[in-house]
Chain A
Amino acid sequence: MTLARTAAVPTLDPGIAWDALVIGGGATGAGLLRDLARRGMRTLLVDRSDLGTGTSGRYHGLLHSGGRYVARDRDAARECIVENRIVRRIASFAVEDTGGYFVATPDDPDDYVDAFPALCAASDVDCEEVDVTEVLRRNPTLNPRIRRAFAVPDAAVEPWALIEGNVADAAELGSLALPYHRVVGFDRSGERLLAARVADVRSGTEYRVMAGQVVSAAGAWGGQVAALAGAKLTMAPGKGTMLVFNQRMTDAVINRCHMASDGDIMVPVGTVAILGTTDIHVADPDHWQITRAEVDELLDEGEKLFPQLRRMRLLRAYGGVRPLYDPSETGTESREVTRAHVVLDHAPRDGISNFTSIVGGKLTTYRLMAQDTADAVARKAGVTERATTAQEPVPDPHGDGKGRYHWLGGRLAAHEADGGGDAALLCECELVTRSQLEEVLDRRWPCSLDDVRRLTRLGMGPCQGGFCTFRAAGAVADHAARATSDPIAIGDMTEQAMADFLRERQRGTQPIAHGRQLQEAVMTAGFHWGTLGLGSLVGTSPGSDAQR
Chain B
Amino acid sequence: MPSADVAVIGAGLAGLLTAVRLAENGARVVVLSEGNGALHWAGGPIDLGFRPGARTAAAVVGQLARRRAHPYAVLGADVAPALDWFQRLTGDLGLPHAGSLSGGFGALPTGIGGIRPVSIVPEAQAATLQPWAPGERLVIAGHAGYKDFWPRAVASSLARPEVWGGFSRPDRVVGVALDWPGLRERRNLNALRIAEHFDDPDWRAAALDVTARGVASTGSGPVRVGLPAVLGLRDHPRVLEDAIQRFGAPVIELPLVPPGIPGIRLHDVLRAKLRALGGRILIGERVARVEVTEATVTAVATEAATREVLTRVGALVLATGGVAGGGLVGDPDGAIREMVLGLPTDGPPIERWLHGDPLNPASLPIAGAGIRTDEALRPVDPRRPARGPLFGNVRVVGSLLAGQQWMIDRSGDGVALASAWRAAASLAGTTASATRSSRTTEAVR
Contact = CB atoms under 8 A, between A and B. Distances in A.
Contacts of A487: 155-156, 159-160, 173
Contact of B113 (A310, A491, A499): A491
Interface stretch (B186-194, B204-212, B421-429): B186-194
A513 B157 contact: no
Given A474-B150, A525-B361, 8 more contacts: A421-B186, A425-B147, A494-B157, A495-B113, A510-B363, A525-B407, A537-B114, A539-B359
A492 B159 CA distance: 10
Interface of B: 41-43, 47, 108, 110-116, 145, 147-150, 152-153, 155-160, 163-165, 173, 186-190, 255-258, 260, 322-324, 326, 329-332, 350-351, 353-355, 357-364, 366-367, 406-408, 410, 412
A190 B350 CA distance: 57
A490 interface: yes
Nearest to B399: A526
Contacts of A536: 114-116, 163-165
A341 B157 CA distance: 49
Contacts of B155: 487
Interface in A439-477: 467, 470-471, 473-477
Nearest to B162: A536
Contact of B147 (A299, A474, A510): A474
A513 B114 contact: no
B322 to A, nearest CB: 8
8 contacts: A424-B187, A470-B148, A494-B156, A502-B358, A503-B358, A518-B353, A526-B41, A537-B113
A215 B257 CA distance: 48
Contact of B329 (A422, A477, A519, A532): A519
Contacts of A103: none
Interface in A493-547: 494-495, 498-499, 502-503, 506-507, 509-510, 513-515, 518-519, 521-523, 525-527, 529-543
A434 B111 CA distance: 18
B255 to A, nearest CB: 5
A540 B359 contact: yes
B329 to A, nearest CB: 6
A475 B159 CA distance: 18
A341 B113 CA distance: 50
A533 B366 contact: no
Interface residues of A, number: 64
A540 B112 contact: no
Contacts of A527: 41, 43, 257-258, 260
Contacts of A490: 152-153, 156
A523 B38 CA distance: 9
A541 B329 CA distance: 30
Nearest to B108: A533
Nearest to A423: B189
Interface of A: 292, 296, 299, 310, 419-426, 434, 467, 470-471, 473-478, 481, 487-488, 490-492, 494-495, 498-499, 502-503, 506-507, 509-510, 513-515, 518-519, 521-523, 525-527, 529-543
A495 B158 CA distance: 11
Contact of A477 (B153, B189, B355, B410): B153
Nearest to A520: B324
Given A477-B153, A514-B332, A522-B324, A531 B358 contact: no
Nearest to A314: B332
> By DSSP majority rule, is chain B's interface helix, strand, loop, or mixed?
loop
Contact of B364 (A422, A503, A525): A525
B366 A518 contact: yes
Contacts of B412: 530
Contacts of A535: 114, 116, 361
B407 A531 contact: no
> By DSSP majority rule, is chain A's interface helix, strand, loop, or mixed?
helix
Contact of A537 (B157, B173, B322): B157
Contacts of B332: 296, 299, 310, 514-515
B357 A543 contact: yes
Contact of B153 (A473, A518, A526, A538): A473
Contact of A495 (B157, B257, B331): B157
B181 to A, nearest CB: 15
A541 B358 contact: no
A543 B360 CA distance: 10
Contacts of A521: 354, 364
Contact of B43 (A421, A514, A515, A531): A531
A481 B329 contact: no
Contact of B359 (A467, A491, A502, A522): A502
B331 A515 contact: yes
Contact of B326 (A509, A519, A539): A519
A58 B322 CA distance: 34
In the A-B complex, the 7 residue pairs with the closest CB atoms: A421-B187, A474-B150, A477-B153, A533-B116, A506-B358, A533-B114, A490-B156
B113 A494 contact: yes
B121 to A, nearest CB: 13
B369 to A, nearest CB: 9
Contacts of A488: 156, 159-160
A308 to B, nearest CB: 12
Nearest to A293: B351
A525 B269 CA distance: 27
B353 A525 contact: no
Contacts of A424: 147, 187
B404 to A, nearest CB: 12
Given A471-B148, A525-B361, A518 B330 contact: yes
